[in-house]
Structure formats: structure tokens, C-alpha cells
Amino acid sequence: MLINCTELAVRELLPEVLEQYKRTYGQICTCQRCQEDIMALALNYLPPHYVATEKGYILTNVNLQQLGGRTAVLAQLCHAAQKVMENPRHDV
Ligand SMILES: [Zn+2]
């Protein structure tokens, strides 16, 4: 099984970013479409980091470091969230 650690990190940190965004800006659309748009945008800006594994894979701090650290992933996610919320790809 081939896993992109960056994707795991993005999936794991997304709820945190949505929560933070909501606290800062008051509202954010959390529909499936917007969440996937945010993840796609962030993933396009972050370097992919693939591992081959036979079992499931658990994201660790070491992996996060390889991706530039938790802060780097969070920063890209925040940036992506902002872009998607300014321009949601569905009717409000
Ligand atoms: Zn939405």
C-alpha cells in the first residue's frame, strides 16, 4: 500500500484549522466539498512524502518534521482555507 504522509498530515490537521478559522473569522463552510477543496489546495503546495507499507500507517511527529513541521502544514492549510472561503466552489 502506498501512502502519502502529507495527505495524512493534512487530513489530521484540517479539523484544527477549521476550528481556528471559525474562531478567528466567525464562520466557515465545513461541507465535504469545501473540506476537500481546502485539502487539495494545501496538498498542491506541500511536498508529497510517500511511504510503502503493508500495514496501516500512523502519523508521528518525526513524519511531520519531514514535511517541514506541523507549523508548515498548518500554515498551508490556513492559506488554503482562506482561499476556498473567499471563493467557495458552490452556491452559498
Ligand atoms: Zn462548502
How far away, in angstroms, is 88 Cα from ligand 1 center?
Answer: 6
pLDDT at 7: 94
- Report mean pLDDT in 10-residue bins for the chain, 92 residues: 92 95 91 96 93 81 82 95 93 73
Closest-CA residue to 4 (of 41, 34, 37, 43): 43
Q: How far is the CA of 18 from the centre of ligand 1 (A)?
A: 12
Between the CA of 39 and the centroid of ligand 1 the distance, in Å, is 13
For residue 76, the CA-to-ligand 1 centroid distance in Å is 19
pLDDT for 92: 66
**In the numeric block, which cell numbers belong to residue 4?**
502519502
Q: How many A from CA of 26 to the centre of ligand 1?
A: 15
